[in-house]
Amino acid sequence: SAVGRGPEVPFRSEAYSISAIARGKELRLTLSALDPAAGPPAQDLVFRFGMSGSFRLCPAAELPRHAHLRFLTRESPPRALCFVDPRRFGSWRLGAAWQPERGPCVVSEYQAFRENVLKNLDDRAFDKSICEALLNQKYFNGIGNYLRAEILFRLKIPPFEKARTVLEALKEQEQRKKDPSLTLSKKVKLRQENPDLLELCHTVPMEVILAEKQLFDPEHSDNYAAFKNWLQCYLVPGMSSLRDRSGRTIWFQVGAPRPLLQGDTGLATLVPTQATTPRALKRRCSAAVNPQKSEEKEEEKEEEADGARKGRARGRRKATAAPALPEVPLNVRRSRRLSARRGKGETGSP
C-alpha cells in the first residue's frame, strides 16, 4: 500500500509458494516460483511486527484496513494473504539476514539462547535490573513486556533484583541438575517441577504458541478473553505496576521498589493497581489493546534501525512513575498552604 513502511518487493510470478520461519521477534518469508526454470529467483523478506502487526487471509474483495502488503491467490474469487499493521510500527526488508543485534530465539534456539546468556554475564547489560535485562533482544530475543511479567511472577523473582545476581545462581542450579547420580526420569521431573528463569523464557511463550485459540486478536472478544484469562500478572487486578527507565510499565507482585539502574539516586514510585470495578476493568482492556504512548515509543525504538542511539538517550533519563492520583488544582494547593501557615502560627512552630 502507499502508506506501508516497507520497500517494493521485486518479485513477479503467476504461480509461487510462500514459506516462513520465525526467529524471536522476526519472521522471514521466502517466495519461490513453482517453476524455478521459468520463474524469477526466490525472494526473501524479513518482517518485524511492532505492536500490532499480523498476517491475515481474507477475500481479496474484503481487504482489512491497514493491509500494507498483499499476496493474491489465483482461485476464483481470489483471496489475499495480508500483512496488517494498524500502527505502522511493523516493517519488512528485502533479504534473508536476521537483525545482527538479536540473539538466539528463546523458542526455536533454546539451547543456544541459554548458552548465550550464561557465558556473557559479565556484559554491562546484566548490570541492570532483571526486569529491564529481559527486554534486551541481544540476549532475550522474543521476550516482550507481558512475557517478562509472567515469567518473573511465576518464579516469585523481585523484578528489581540485579540481573547478574539472579542469573549467576542458575549456574549452580544447572550443576545440581547434571548430577550423575540422578536418573534421566528424575532429571526430567526436577526440571518440570523446578524450572529456572531461562527455561521459563522458553516454555511460557510456547504456552501461547501452542494454544488452540489465537489469543492476541483484539477484534475477536472471545479470543482476547482467553488471553486475559491466561495472564496471571500482566494487567491483572491486585498486582502493582511502575515505569522503568525506558517508559515501559512493569507489572509485578513481589519485591519493594528500588533503584532500577546502578547509580540511580531516586527510588521508582510504586503505583498499586486500582480496585477491580467494571470501569477499571474496561480501562485495563483498553490499555491492553491501546498501550500508553510511552510504551508505543519504546516498541517503535526496538523496531527502528537507530534504536541503539535512542536507547542511549533514554538511558540517561531518570525513572518516572505513572501518576497514582490526579493533580491537585492550583487554588486548592494555595488554600492548603495558607491553612498550614496559620496552623503553625497558632502552635508557635518555627
pLDDT in tens, 251-260: 998 654 444 4
Average pLDDT on 136-160 reads 95
Average pLDDT on 171-182 reads 69
**Is the predicted pLDDT of residue 58 greater than 90, yes or no?**
yes
Instruction: For residue 146, give the DSSP letter.
Output: H
Burial tier of 344 (Cβ tally within 10 Å: 0-12, 13-18, 19+): exposed
- pLDDT at position 212, please? 56
Question: What is the per-residue pLDDT across 66-104, written as a single tens digit (0 to 9) for each?
Answer: 999 999 998 899 999 999 999 888 999 999 999 999 999
- pLDDT at position 262, please? 39
Least confident range from 31-45, 103-117, 325-339: namely 325-339
- Report CA-CA distances (Å) from 94 to 6, 123, 168: 9, 32, 39
Least confident range from 21-25, 161-165, 293-297: namely 293-297
- pLDDT at position 318, please? 41
130, 157 in Cβ contact below 8 A? Answer: yes
Band of pLDDT at residue 289, cut at 50, 70 and 90: very low
Please state, for a pLDDT cut of 90, what percent of the chain lies above it: 45
- pLDDT at position 184, please? 64
Q: What is the mean pLDDT of the chain?
A: 76
Domains of the chain: residue spans and CATH = 16-94 (3.20.190.10), 110-252 (1.10.8.50)
229, 150 in Cβ contact below 8 A? Answer: no
Q: pLDDT: is 237 or 278 the higher one?
A: 237
- pLDDT at position 118, please? 95
Closest residue by Cα to residue 52 from 43, 44, 64: 64
- pLDDT at position 134, please? 97
- pLDDT at position 325, please? 37
- pLDDT at position 36, please? 86
- Report CA-CA distances (Å) from 95 to 70, 99, 116, 184: 18, 11, 25, 43
250, 273 in Cβ contact below 8 A? Answer: no
